[in-house]
Amino acid sequence: MWTRKLKIKGMTCAGCASGIEKKINAFDGVKIVVSYVEGIGWLTVSGSMAIETLVGIIKEKGYQVTELEFDNNVGSDPVSISKQGRQLHVAIIGTGSAAFACAIKAVENAAKVTLIERNSIIGGTCVNIGCVPSKIMIRAAHIVHLQKNHHFRGIKKIQPIIDRKRLLTQQQARVDELRAAKYESILENNPNINLVKGDARFKNVNTLIVESGGGDKVEIKADRFLIATGASASIPAIQGLSGTPYWTSTEALQSEQLPEHLIVIGSSIIALELAQAYLRLGSKVTLLARHSLLYREDSDIGSELYNILVNEGMTILEHTQTETVSYKKGFFASGKFSVKTTNGSVLKGDQLLIATGRVPNTDSLEVEKAGIKLDKTGRIIIDDHMLTNVEHIYAAGDCTDQPQFVYVAAAGGTRAAINMTGGDVVLDLTTMPAVMFTDPQMATVGLTENQAKQKHINIDSRLLSLENVPRALANFETQGFVKLVIEGSTRRLIGAQILAPDAGEMIQTAALAIRHQMTIEELAGQLFPYLTMVEAIKLCAQTFNKDVKELSCCAG
């Protein structure tokens, strides 16, 4: 008996895979399992049929077939495990987006899954304390802002009455609803996914120890492992901070109270989203930025957003660090924070938000017992197949050295499952869009001017103010811009940076243009619907060859 792993190209649907299986499995002593998604076939022969004959039969159906390297003696591949009369067992640490994406795909590929969660609720950061509640809060704050500050003269502006407690109740109800629909129901309806509660750590390369809150321990052995433990708020070593009732993003999203004066330490996505939301809901907000705003992004974004937020009423102290923090309970329960800065000022506020990044949840895993390598910040090092340096241990999401976005985590979890069940797929992040949900939103994809120059790419770029975009003019919202970066020699689009009310909805157009290696002329020649914000990308593309101020409003 022998087994071969085949790469099969040319399949266009799941029916192609079924057709190959029907044809090949008709022979005595021959068994093939084909996955259309992975483009992989596992061929097992117990008789005298030659592999060349079977491959030829598949090729006759119009497919390209390549034999992949595969060690029949390993005994831990999906086919070997199937021959032993048992399912491939996948153990997943965590229950967030990466974990569930992996679990669902692994079960689809005939594995059984054990999910391990140390918290009382499942679902990870995004649905519980991240993406979902923050966007609900940001949307509520946007409605408040429009009521007070819209630009339509015939509509009376009002000062809305805000009941933060009722807003929070509605927010958490939607969180509970989505967690039930997207996580809890999957567990309830899938007998091949089992949940174990407790803290997991590696005993060795093949075994986990899971300890419950009551001290009970259970050992879990598996054929494949996925580490998807996420990340937590990074707390800087500021003198006096420890022991004070400061907020992280979790507390900021779950507070029933609106602070009179919120001090925010941080200058990136989470800090800016929450700072603007609280400002619009009625808090005075002072933000301390160690560098400039969004200093890792294109400098035009940070400088423009700085002006927008300051004009809304936010106090922003750039190039300012915190030396000490103290907290003194006042006559009322809220108390007061004092923040001494490096520029000599002392800020007083009734709440302090620490939003200085997130660190991976890997400290308690004892990964060294499995030989798993981490980088200097504690992130798990993985390749584009989501594989660690250990051949059967994978990782995905915010605990890895990949970008901390939920859609990256979910995509990584799915690909990890495919690869651990016999497939061969990669996660390509070269055209990964990033979005920040301030107002206006920031969205980017590809290379900035500086990044391209560091790669020694000859570039050209254009920046188009929203004052030149008809939809922005119609909305009376012209703060922001679209910036496109192209490779000078090929004229291909290689980067886009957008600051606009609907930037998150616009950026995928640029991402697809980069993915398909479109030239700026090809992009400028596409049909874009009018009046839309995404038309700004077309207009910006046109500026590489003409002055858009001289075009009619919807010129092609």
Residues annotated as catalytic (active site), given as ranges: 11, 13, 16, 63, 126, 131, 553-554
- Residues whose CB falls within 8 Å of the CB of residue 180, separated by 6 or more in sequence, listed in order: none
- Three-state DSSP state, 161: coil
- Three-state DSSP state, 402: coil
Beta strands 112-117 and 89-93, pairing class: parallel
Q: For the residues of 429-469, what is the DSSP string, one character each?
A: -TT--EEE-SSSEEEEEE--HHHHHHTT--EEEEEEEGGG-
Q: How many of the other CB atoms lie within 10 Å of CB of 467?
A: 12
Q: Where are the alpha helices (DSSP H) in 25-130?
A: 51-60, 78-83, 97-108, 124-129
Order across the sheet with 207-211: list the strands.
199-204, 207-211, 217-221
| Cα→Cα distances 388→367, 381, 519, Å | 11, 6, 37
Phi (first) and psi of residue 428, to 5 degrees:
-95, 115
- Residues whose CB falls within 8 Å of the CB of residue 52, separated by 6 or more in sequence, listed in order: none
Beta strands 322-328 and 336-341, pairing class: antiparallel
- Three-state DSSP state, 53: helix
Q: How many of the other CB atoms lie within 10 Å of CB of 294?
A: 24
The answer to whether the Cα torsion of 185, 190, 193, 198 is positive or negative is: positive
The answer to whether the Cα torsion of 473, 477, 479, 482 is positive or negative is: negative
- Residues whose CB falls within 8 Å of the CB of residue 58, separated by 6 or more in sequence, listed in order: 6, 8, 20, 23, 24, 41, 65
The radius of gyration computed from the CA coordinates of the chain, to the nearest angstrom, equals: 27
Query: Do the beta carbons of residue 372 and residue 355 sit within 8 Å?
Result: no
- Residues whose CB falls within 8 Å of the CB of residue 185, separated by 6 or more in sequence, listed in order: none
Q: Which long-range contacts (CB under 8 A, 24 or more apart) does 76-79 make?
A: 76/223, 76/392, 77/3, 77/5, 77/42, 77/422, 78/42, 78/109, 78/110, 78/111, 78/421, 78/422, 79/3, 79/33, 79/42, 79/44, 79/422
Query: Do the beta carbons of residue 326 and residue 341 sit within 8 Å?
Result: no
Q: What is the 3-state secondary structure (H, E, C) of 212-268?
A: CCCCCEEEEECCEEEECCCEEECCCCCECCCCCCCECHHHHHHCCCCCCEEEEECCC
Q: Copy the structure tokens of residue 504.
A: 């998150």
Beta strands 193-197 and 112-117, pairing class: parallel
- Three-state DSSP state, 59: helix
